[in-house]
């Protein structure tokens, strides 16, 4: 069955073939969106992002990105609301700047301050990006020397990121208890916002939904580079930045329910 797209302004429906030729309604210029599956739940006061059921063919990354960028009154996490996507992205980048400064190598000289700052980073109300880092991340405070060494090592751009990931995760030379791939790649993203993306369960799920399949191995650093390459490609395809793409991963993983 061919995917169908509809104009939310005039109500006309277009085939997937027509959509591939032009993503805009020829009658009023409105961006076409995947036709809502019959029976999909309507928008309600209880959910800013009601899920919609789509087949593989109906999932269109550009269309979902357009819908994401139009969101308003967003509950981004823990009942922290933003008026729109740009205001959320701005808040995220401001938080990154704050923690990037706190975790600078020349600032990592006081154990008590490091403990206070890292604990603060683990909560959404401060990082503005991720809601569950504290679940495992608080364990890192039990060994501040290892945490200090890890934060210092992750900032060393003279070391290939594949090696930094491998050495920073369990079994590696710089592993710190409580720091898994979610937190480690979030830290990399904070340090180098335009270069490294975040690898967590929402990232994996969304890449699966949009059919960006990865040939993973047992090498976690190698796998991260594959994920990061896909995220980098998406920033180019959508003409956006890595922080917005990470937010988009969150949106799509909440929005799309795949019909197998």
Distance between CA 217 and CA 207 in Å, rounded?
Answer: 17
41 is a domain residue: no
User: 125: which 2 tokens?
Assistant: 């109300």
User: 46: which 2 tokens?
Assistant: 């209880």
How many domains does the chain divide into?
2
Q: What is the pLDDT of residues 160-208, one digit of tens each?
A: 999 999 999 999 999 999 999 999 999 999 999 999 999 999 999 999 9
126 is a domain residue: yes
Distance between CA 107 and CA 148 in Å, rounded?
Answer: 10
The confidence band for 30, taking pLDDT boundaries of 50, 70 and 90, is low
74 and 3 inside one domain: no
7 and 86 inside one domain: no
Q: What is the pLDDT of residues 40-66, one digit of tens each?
A: 444 433 346 888 888 888 899 998 999
30 and 114 inside one domain: no
Domain that holds residue 29: 1-35
Distances (CA, A) of 129 to 64, 140, 160, 186, 243: 20, 19, 25, 9, 9
Distance between CA 224 and CA 14 in Å, rounded?
Answer: 38
4 and 62 inside one domain: no
136 and 30 inside one domain: no
27 and 136 inside one domain: no
110 and 215 inside one domain: yes
31 and 120 inside one domain: no
């Amino acid at each position: 069955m061919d995917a169908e797209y509809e104009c939310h302004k005039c109500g006309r429906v277009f085939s997937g073939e027509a959509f591939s030729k032009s993503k805009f309604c020829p009658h009023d210029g409105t961006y076409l969106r995947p036709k809502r599956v019959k029976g999909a739940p309507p928008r309600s006061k209880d959910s800013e992002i009601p899920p919609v059921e789509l087949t593989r063919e109906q999932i269109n990354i550009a269309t979902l990105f357009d819908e994401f960028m139009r969101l308003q009154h967003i509950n981004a996490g823990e009942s922290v609301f933003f008026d729109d996507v740009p205001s959320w992205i701005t808040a995220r980048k401001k938080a990154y700047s704050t923690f990037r400064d706190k975790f600078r190598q020349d600032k990592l000289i006081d154990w008590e301050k490091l403990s206070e700052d890292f604990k603060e980073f683990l909560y959404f109300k401060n990082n503005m990006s991720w809601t569950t880092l504290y679940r495992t991340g608080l364990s890192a405070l039990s060994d501040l020397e290892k945490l200090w060494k890890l934060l210092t090592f992750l900032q060393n751009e003279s070391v290939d990121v594949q090696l930094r990931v491998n050495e920073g995760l369990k079994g590696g030379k710089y592993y710190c208890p409580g720091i898994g791939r979610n937190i480690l790649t979030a830290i990399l993203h904070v340090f180098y916002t335009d270069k490294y993306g975040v690898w967590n369960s929402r990232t994996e799920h969304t890449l699966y939904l949009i059919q960006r399949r990865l040939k993973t191995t047992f090498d976690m650093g190698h796998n991260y580079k594959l994920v990061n390459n896909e995220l980098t490609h998406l920033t180019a395809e959508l003409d956006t930045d890595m922080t917005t793409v990470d937010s988009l991963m969150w949106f799509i993983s909440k929005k799309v329910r795949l019909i197998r």
